[in-house]
Amino acid sequence: MLVKGLSRSVLALGATAIVTCVTPGLSVGASAAVSRAVTVHQSSVKSAHASRPSRSSNLTYHGGVPGVETAGDNVYLVYWGSQWNNTDPSGEAAIQQSFFNGVGGSPWNNSVTQYCQGVASGTVNCGSSGTHATNPSGVLGGFWYDNASAAPSSPTQSQLAAEAVRAAGNFGKTTAGSNNTVQYVISTATGNSSSGFGTQYCAWHSSTSSNYGTIAYTNMPYITDAGASCGADFNGLGPKAGITIVGGHEFGETETDIFPNGGWLDGRGAENGDKCAWISLADIKLKTGTFAVQPLWSNAFHSNAGGCVLSYP
């Protein structure tokens, strides 16, 4: 993925790229919640991305089981820290909740269902083989204001991972099987993002080992703090458009590469969101409202040549 200012090793994140330090301020290994080297997949800032889709190749399966989100496919939103108390100037929490209350079962999200797990590594088209990613309605499993004390003002990757583990405990997801189809979105309050937000990335997703099994989580900063760099007023979609553009990007990527990098990536390590970032953005109508999103990559588009789609099939 193209992220301005990052080292070559970070730009080359792919099926075999396992990193222990991905960008300044994102450290791994200090917390018991992070007991192995992990990969971070970032959504790039707008100015750092090309204006056309990355057509290097279609996505291929990289052998992970789980590699995609199947069955329940739930999202849990976490508003971390007392900094959220009576402070949400853009109303980001309500927008997130409305989006995830409506996105399940939508044509926009349905492209993920072509990808599967349990087939040979290198598979490009699953057909009816394997166990496919799902697109159920009601993907929002719940939300939690973990606001009894302040979160770190600039959390490290280890601290974000540890918060994801706490969230799993809060929601009763305390067995490995219960976390195989779940993603936790760790939302930090305005002015409290981790290092590099708005200049190097807009959000990122990763996974962490824990006593509850491997847990998929997203670092979701307060998106409107970054302004145009993370989607504000992009294509005339409004000052808050980036909340769901970026949130949808990370959601779709986690569905198809739940524990990076065992799911679906192209030859350069790009996921289904990366290949279509910051192009052809548009509003879509869900049962809970109208929201700005980016397309997601579909291997099946253009007679299996691949391309970016806002609905599927």
> Do the Cβ atoms of 109 and 68 come closer than 8 Å?
no
**2 is a domain residue:** no
Under DSSP, the state recorded for 201 is: B
Instruction: Tell me, yes or no, whether 143 lies in a domain.
Output: yes
Domain limits for position 301:
8-309
Residue 50 maps to a domain: yes
What's the structural domain count of the chain?
1
Supply the pLDDT for residue 8: 22
Nearest CA to 14 among 254, 270, 258?
270
Sole residue written with tokens 């979701």:
220
Write down the pLDDT at residue 39.
81
Radius of gyration of the chain (CA): 17
Check: CB of residue 85 under 8 Å from CB of residue 268. Answer: no
Does residue 1 form part of some domain?
A: no
Give SS3 for 216: strand
Task: Confirm whether 281 is domain-assigned.
Answer: yes
Q: Which two tokens stand for residue 72?
A: 């329940």
Please list the rounded mean pLDDT of every run of 10 residues in the chain (313 residues): 26 27 29 45 70 73 97 96 98 98 98 98 98 97 98 98 98 96 98 97 98 98 98 97 98 98 97 97 98 98 97 97
